[in-house]
Amino acid sequence: MSVSIAVVGSINHDIVVRVPRHPVPGETIMGSGHFTAPGGKGANQAVAASRLGATVAMVGAVGNDSIGADLLSGLSSDGVDCGHVRVVDDVGTGIALITLDDAGENSIVVSPGANGVVSVEDVTVDVVAAAAVVLIQQEIPPEAVAAAVMHARGTVILNPAPAREVSPEVLARVDVLVPNRSELAVLTGSPEAKVRDEVVTQANLLPREGVVIVTLGGDGAMIIDGDDVTIVEPASVDVVDTTAAGDAFCAALAFGLASGWDIGRTVRWGALAGALATTRAGAQPSLPTSDTVMKFAASMR
């Protein structure tokens, strides 16, 4: 089934260094190899949704440089419509510096470059208003995030990463909010939840009408819809790199909701896609296809 998803967000060039552990402030450690890969939360989610079978348009910005051209070429080769990505002359394409430890956990520093100049005008475009699902993250300016949420007419999914405050007016217009525990803590001004009851309490502090889906890493995910709480258990995999797990999860949510699935089936699909994304190194190289997710699901029955 062809579905319509507009992804509003960042497009980055990832530089990844493998490390035995993450350094502490003031410490230099030796890495054990490095590689580059296309990334950015927006671009990752666009590619993931396209590989799952959606019709996807990307809205964002890159610099007028060879890196930006290569990233757009890669998005297009994955079937993503890049007609609404602005090429910026005076700012370089965004980059992410990623350290990846032996357990597959990552630490990331993003230099936004062109992502930092994505404007209200860039996101208030027809493709956003017309999409069945609009998927947004926070690696672009907050005014652009707010404008995209308000301009959307379909289902709005907000992945509030990286963590920062979001206005009550914007949160109230979000249909599906997808934070992890640390992002939920920032949104509510609370300490990070340690147990599931605390997660539910914090989610219900938010000014919202929609559903909150909290990703819990190796503990799975929680669907919180008022007083209704559903636990989605994680899939067991051998973790290589967690960089794009959340992006695969969010893209699968967008695909499922655009396809008319109920929220339970959608989140279970997202959990499978997210788990599979941890089994390969790199952000976009790790993102699974629909066939891969279906085979994985079949193997777990």
pLDDT at 218: 81
Give dist(CA 64, CA 67) in Å, integer: 8
Q: Amino acid identity, residue 115?
A: N
- 122 catalytically annotated: no
181-225: pLDDT as tens digits: 999 999 999 999 999 999 999 999 998 889 999 999 888 899 999
65 Cβ neighbours under 8 A, 6+ residues apart: 92, 93
Mean predicted lDDT score pLDDT of the chain: 94
Instruction: For Cα atoms 151, 211, 173, give the angle at the middle one, nearest 5 degrees.
Output: 25
CATH number at 291 reads 3.40.1190.20
pLDDT tens-digit readout, 121-178: 999 999 999 999 999 999 999 999 999 999 999 999 999 999 999 999 999 999 999 9
The pTM (predicted TM-score) of the whole model is: 0.93
In this predicted structure, what is the pLDDT of residue 3?
Answer: 64
Q: Is the pLDDT of residue 1 over 50?
A: no
Choice among 70, 247, 262, 291 that is catalytic:
247
Distance CA 93, CA 61 (A): 8
* Structural element, H or E, at residue 82: strand 81-88
Torsion region of 130: left, alpha or beta (phi above 0 gives left; psi -120 to 50 gives alpha): alpha
Count structural domains, the chain.
1
Measured distance CA(209)–CA(14) in Å, rounded: 36
Please choose, from the candidates 24, 44, 23, 27, the residue with its C-alpha nearest in 3D space to the C-alpha of residue 99. Answer: 23
Q: What is the dihedral of CA 61, 180, 239, 73, to 10 degrees?
A: -10
What residue numbers bound the domain in which 128 lies? 4-299
